[in-house]
Amino acid sequence: MSNISPLGTKPLRHVAVVMDGNGRWAKQKGLPTIAGHKAGAEAARRLIQAAVDHNVEYLTLYTFSSENWNRSEKWINELFGLLSWYLEHEINSLHEKNIRLKSIGERTRLPENIQRLLTKAEEKTKSNTLITVILALSYSSKNEIVRAINTIIKDVQANKLSSITEESFEQYLDTRSIPDPDLLIRTSGEQRISNYLLWQLAYAEFVFDTVLWPDFTETHFEKAVYEYENRERRYGRDVS
Ligand code: IPE
Ligand code: IPE
Ligand code: MG
């Protein structure tokens, strides 16, 4: 879904974040890598509150990419250990705050306990309305697009579909029914999108910050929003 609005008004419905720099943060402090991810999870908690304070409706967090499967088994196990702890212990508090949780990505590749916890969390919070927090897990955009195309091929073979439009294609993506991000924030100084939401970011504004993710606070969020508000989103039109 695209959210093109008249110039001059600047809705900020959906913010997508690449929470990068946890490993470097831990290294700088001489801590084990997992300590960086624990601190990163706290930063994510702060970000959710900041997004709520700014009336953001959707927040997508790049939590584990398809490419991250190439990291060491030890790292992967520790990360999913941390994630399962959060899914078990935080879900009630998210639910009490009226927060809806969703996930995108190749779910069947995730450890079974994570799949179970995600299903439970999504079911429990599905009617919540304050904000939708979307965890991108075992997610890569090229993988999402290819999975969508394979489903389309099946629908064509079953005579359910004969052609496709941008709008109907979007219904096959994991992000169906979620508006496209207005703003992408990436921390840690890297300026790339690392296979994140390639289709959905077509007209997003990009803000890069050098802060390492665990140090990200509401002030960094506000700075990114300020920068976003001062951009002119032209969607190909004349400069105003
Ligand atoms: C980003 O932190 C979070 C995940 C990939 C899960 P990194 O682990 O990539 O941290 P750096 O980039 O090595 O500092
Ligand atoms: C992107 O960060 C993925 C997540 C934040 C989950 P990476 O640290 O994995 O990306 P690259 O390797 O720097 O592109
Ligand atoms: Mg990184």
Which of these, 207, 231, 235, 210, lies nearest to 15 by C-alpha position? Answer: 207
- CATH assignment of the domain containing 119: 3.40.1180.10
209 is a catalytic site residue: no
Residue of 20, 174, 180, 209 with catalytic role = 20
Q: What percent of the chain has pLDDT over 90?
A: 95
Domain that holds residue 91: 14-140+181-229
> One of 22, 53, 55, 68 is an active-site residue; which one?
68
- Measured from the CB, is residue 113 less than 6 Å from ligand 2? no
User: In this structure, what token pair is assigned to residue 108?
Assistant: 């069947």
- Tell me if 167 is assigned to some domain: no
Mean pLDDT calculated for residue range 97-117:
98
Whole-number pLDDT of residue 232: 94
Pocket of ligand 2 contains residue 99 by CB under 6 Å = no
Q: Is the CB of 62 under 6 A from ligand 2?
A: yes
116 occurs within a structural domain: yes
Considering the domain boundaries, does residue 145 fall inside one?
Answer: no
**Residue 21 is assigned to a structural domain of this protein:** yes
Asked whether residue 158 is assigned to any structural domain, the reply reads: no
Is 117 a residue whose pLDDT tops 60? yes
Model pLDDT, residue 5: 44
Per-residue pLDDT tens digits for 15-69: 999 999 999 999 999 999 999 999 999 999 999 999 999 999 999 999 999 999 9
Sorting pLDDT into bands at 50, 70 and 90, what band is 10? confident
> 156 alpha carbon to ligand 3 midpoint, in Å?
39
pLDDT at 155: 98
For residue 8, what pLDDT is reported? 44
pLDDT at position 2 over 70: no
Q: How far apart are CA 55 and CA 132, in angstroms?
A: 11
207 Cα–ligand 2 center, Å: 16
Residue 54 has a CB neighbour count (10 Å cut-off) of: 14
Q: What is the pLDDT of residue 9?
A: 58
Res. 159 pLDDT band, cuts 50 70 90: very high
Which ligand is located closest to the Cα atom of residue 137? 2
| Number of domains composing the chain | 1
Pocket around ligand 1 at a 6 A CB cut-off: 19-24, 64, 68, 79, 188
Rounded Cα gap, residues 50 and 52, in angstroms: 5
Tens digit of each residue's pLDDT (9 = 90 or more) over 76-86? 999 999 999 99
Tell me, using a 6 A CB cutoff, whether residue 66 lines ligand 2: no
Q: Is residue 238 part of a domain?
A: no
Does some domain include residue 127?
yes
Closest CA to 54 of 158, 170, 182, 178: 182
Tell me, yes or no, if 20 is annotated catalytic. Answer: yes
CA distance 167 to 204: 17
Q: Whose CA is nearest to atom 8 of ligand 1?
A: 23
Residue 130 lies in a domain: yes
Q: 22, 24, 65, 134: which to mutate for ligand 2, most atoms within 8 A of CB?
A: 65
For ligand 2, atom 11, the nearest C-alpha belongs to 194
List the one residue out of 151, 148, 193, 150 whose CA is nearest residue 170.
Answer: 148
Measured in Å, residue 33 CA sits from the centre of ligand 1 at 9
CB 203 within 8 A of CB 133: no
pLDDT at 210 over 80: yes
